[in-house]
Each structure stands twice: as C-alpha cells, then as structure tokens.
Structure 1
Amino acid sequence: MKMYSEREPARGIVERIRRRGRLSTLKYLAVLRVSILNNLAYIMEVFFRALLLVVLVFVLTQLWKTTFALRGTSVLSGFGIADMIWYLVAGEAIAMSLPALTRRIDQEVRSGQLAYLLGRPSSYVLYNYAHYLGERLVRLLMNALIGTVLAFIMAGPPHFTWQGVLAWPLVAFLALSIDFVMHFSIGLMAFWSEETQSFSLILSRLTLVLGGVLAPLEIFPQPLRSIAQVLPFSTILYGPSRTLVHFETARFTSLLVQQFATLGVGIIIMLSIYHAAVRRVNINGG
C-alpha cells in the first residue's frame, strides 16, 4: 500500500502533463485549421497569385533552353532540360508560397495589438507558426498544382524516384520551418526599428540567389558554390528541390543533418530575440 500511495501522485503529475500537452497541441491545431480555412475562403486570390509562377518558370525555361543550345549539350551538371524545368517548378513553388509574415508583425507592433496577443493563454511564437503554416500550405499546394500542370506541358512526365517523392514532404516541411524562423526573427526586429521590410527584402533576395531557385548550386562557379551549399538558404530551396528531382541517399542524409542543425541554431537565435523583445515591452509598460 505504501508503494502504491507513493507512485500515485507521480502518475497524477504525468497524466496532468500529458493532458496539458494534448490540450496545447489541439489549440495550435485549431489555429492551423482556421488559417487554412481563411485562405481557402479566398482561394481565387491564391490561384491568381500563383499564376505568376507560370510566367517565371516559362521565362527561366527559355533562358535555360538557350543556355543548353549555346553549350551544345543536353546535360548540364547532371541536369537535363526536363530535370531543370521540374527543378525550377519545385523551387519556385516553395519560394512563392511565403506569406507576409514580417509585415503582419510590423502592424501588430505599431498598432499595439501585440500587447493583446501576448496576453493570450498561448505562445505568441507558436500561434504565429501555426497561422503561418496554414497560410503557406495552401499557397504551396496551389503553386505545386499549377507548376505540375505547366511542367507536364513543357517537359513531359517527371523521372522522380519513389524515394524522392516520399522524402520531399519531410525536407519541404523542415524548409518551411527554417524559413519561418528566419523571417519571424526579422519580424521581431520591429520592436526596435518598427519597419522591417528592408531586412525582409534582403533576406528574400539572398534566399532566391544563394538558395538555388534560379539554378541548381552545381552550376555555380567555385568558390561561390561551396559557400552557398553551407549557408542556410540552400536548405530552404535547393535541398528540397534537388531531393525531389535527383534523390541520393547520401545527399538526403546530409541535407537532413544540415536542416536540423540550421533549425536548432535558428530557434535559439529567434527565442533570444523574442525574450529580449518581450522584456523591452515590459520595461516600456506594455
């Protein structure tokens, strides 16, 4: 009886922790669901926004077809023209699905709505992550749908392996999470500058250029190629796109390690900025 009475409180504590964790998970899943439904309510806006992908991929395809013709080759750094088109579609689908996260944080800081959001019984970071993820998933799926139709027309069916198809959702999800951490950290700078669009613009342009959305990093000259491959931008666009088009077990494992390391370091930096920002709000009276 004594042993039973000593274990019972411990079991109660564990059960309470589980219950709180379950309720917390359901809470953010509800935010995710509402975000998805809000974006589905304006699905035509998402559709017309995604049509820009058609223009970009078409222009880039013509440039690469000209490059292949001038080089007099059908394969460039392991990529044929069909592989290049599918790679461009995969990269642009991720790149063009980014919502206006930093602008929303700017507005919350300027309007004072932030004080209300911080007072909610939820994490401001996780709330924004769930909201961001719902919005981005809808845009990503629409971009992927339109891009797939375009790529079928321009390049024919893809030569994906089943490993690449199964691995892509995981690396794409990690890429979206890394992108959130980076842009949310930039958005938090609004506590000091109140205007972060210039920082966000620089970050997005670096991601596009060094992230490999315009061309696979194998085509970059050295030493720019080696530098771009170790930067976090490659884990957002190049890594997932290459995994889908040219799956290799060693590269996939290396990408996962790089993504988890980038995400871990990014979360530490983001939370440090966040806690500093919250202290600034408290010092200034909310």
Structure 2
Amino acid sequence: MEVGVRRDRGVMRRLRLDFLKYTTVLQVSVANNLAYMLEIFFRSLMVVVLVFILSQLWKVTFALHREKILSGFSINTMIWYLIAGESIALSLPALTQRIDQEVRSGQLAYLLVRPCSYVLYNFAQYLGERLVRWSMNCLVGAGLALLVAGWPPFGWQGLLAWPLVSLLAMSIDFVAYFSIGLLAFWIEETQPFSFMFSRLTLVLGGVLAPLEIFPEPVRSIALALPFGAILYGPARTLVHFELDRFCQLLLQQVSMLVVGCAILFMIYQVALRRVNINGG
C-alpha cells in the first residue's frame, strides 16, 4: 500500500513540475513579446485595414439588398464578427517556418536533448506569442468596431465563451502547422502546404463572411469541413451565442484536437526514428 502511495505521489510531483516548467516557458514567451509591444501594435493595424475594407463592402451589400438583416446578421453584428475572426487569423506566428528551419538545419537534434518535450515546449512558446498578438488585435479591432459600428451586440454568455473556443482554435492551429513543419523530414519545402492550409482556413473558415451567407452547395461543404471550428465557430459564438451550437462547437474542436494530436504524435515518432537513423 505504501509503495503504491509513494508511486502516486511521485507521479503527481512529476506532473506538477512539468506543469510549472511549461508554464514558465509560456510566461517567458509572453514577456519576450511584451518587450516588442510597439512592433506588435503596428502589426495589429492590419486588422484595421482589412476590417475597414470589408465593412465598407458589407455596407454596400446591405444597401443593395435594402435589408437590415442578412442571414441573421445586421451590419453591426457583421463588423464585430469580422473583428473576432480576423483577430484570431492575424495572430498566427511563423510556427511552420521555425520548425521547418530547425529540422533542415539539424538544430532539432540538439533541441531534443533538453529535459523537456520538444512539442510541449514549442506549444508553450507558441501560445505565449499568439496570446499577446491576439490580445492586441482584439483591443485595436474593438476600438475600430466602436467607431464604425457602435456598441457590440453580444451578451455576457458569448463574451465568457469566446476566450475558451478561441484558445481551442489556436491549439488546433498549432497541431496543424506543427505537423506541417515536421514534414521537412521528407520534403524539401513545407511552405506550400502551410500556404494551402492557411488559405483554406481563410476561405472555408468563414473569416471573410459567415458561413450562413455562402451559397449552396458551398455552405454545406464548408460547414462539414473542420476549418469552420478555427475561425467561424469562435467568431459566431461571440456575436450569436446559442448554447446548443456552443456545445456542438466544443465537441467539434475537442474531436479535432484528439485526432490532430494522434496524427502529430505518429509523425513525430517517425521523425524521431529518422533522427536516430541519421545519427542525430
């Protein structure tokens, strides 16, 4: 009995130390990015440019249709939706390029000997960088939306649920782009795959317009694909919170993370064997 208790305590202690280790990496990543707030601020101005252009296009669209509501979205709701979607889309760091470079340069072999998981270390570093960018995008975008569209239309339920689904969306992005970066073990250039995934996410993820506005059969195809869980789902949750759709989104995001992590683990294990075979 005492042996089992000691073993359980040892496991809990290791888990606690691992948690503190990666939390520290996250904090350092946040601190490093906060040191360059001016650069991050100017980069976030891209949200202003894109949302301003899109908002003008949507104002013309509403005027031409002579409607105040299109597929459940008013012009006010549409602008806040665009802010929410673009804030996530434009906060993505250059993760694939970094992983690609570490693999191709051989630096990965040296990074693997550190007393921490290479994947979790990169996730903590990525999350710290992305949270700072996302927060700045949200602040700048909210200022623009208040000037252009007025007070936000969402309630406290959407405001509370939005950070959770946005965090899950960022985690899905990490799994996808990290897996693409590891493909550098087999192919010379991974950027075409990264570019393809990002464009599919932008077009079919609903960042330019809610998926309800898409014509059939594009709407049904986009809703069936997983890209909507990254941008459309979180943005719609903020401006149009519905409990049943929120639960469906959570289930979709968690399922994507489980499947994505399993694929990432398989790619990573095969990649590690290639490092060992090549004398890394």
Instruction: Give the alignment's TM-score, normalised by structure 2.
Output: 0.99
Identify the match of residue 154 of structure 2 among 157, 160, 163: 160
SS in 2 for 1:177: helix
Whose radius of gyration is greater, 1 or 2?
Answer: 1
1:170 to 146, 164, 167: 164
How many angstroms apart in 1 are the aligned matches of 2:55 and 2:72?
A: 17
- The alignment-based identity, stated in percent, is 67
1:250 and 2:244 matched: yes
Instruction: Please tell me the residue identity of whatever aligns with 2:149.
Output: A
Q: Cα distance, 1:110 vs. partner?
A: 2.2
**Alignment partner of 1:73 is 2:67:** yes
Matches of 1:148 and 1:194, distance apart in 2? 41
What is residue 31 of structure 2 aligned with on the other side?
37
1:19 and 2:13 equivalent? yes
Match in the other structure for 1:283: 277
Q: Which runs of 5+ in 1 are unaligned?
A: 1-6
Displacement of 1:230 after TM fit? 2.1
The answer to whether the aligner puts 1:118 opposite 2:120 as a matched pair is: no
Q: What is the rounded CA distance, in whole Å, between the counterparts of 1:266 and 1:224 in structure 2? A: 24
Q: How does 1:161-240 map to 2 (within 5 A)?
A: 161-240=155-234
Q: Which amino acid aligns with 1:130?
A: A
| Total equivalences in the alignment | 280
Question: Following TM superposition, by how much is the alpha carbon of 1:201 offset from its aligned partner in structure 2, in angstroms?
Answer: 0.7
Secondary structure in 2 aligned to 1:129? Answer: helix
- Deviation, 1:281, is 1.0
1:64 aligns with 2:35: no
Aligned to 1:4: none
Contact preservation (8 Å) 1:39, 1:135? yes
RMSD, matched Cα: 0.8
Cα distance in 2 between the residues matched to 1:49 and 1:261: 32
Matches of 2:42 and 2:189 in 1, distance apart?
28
Q: Distance in 2 between matches of 1:110 and 1:241?
A: 36
In the aligned structure 1, how far is the partner of 2:244 from the partner of 2:224? 16
| TM-score, structure 1 normalization | 0.96
Structure 2 CA distance for aligned equivalents of residues 54 and 223 of structure 1 = 32
C-alpha deviation, 1:58, in angstroms: 0.4
Letter in 2 for 1:103: Q
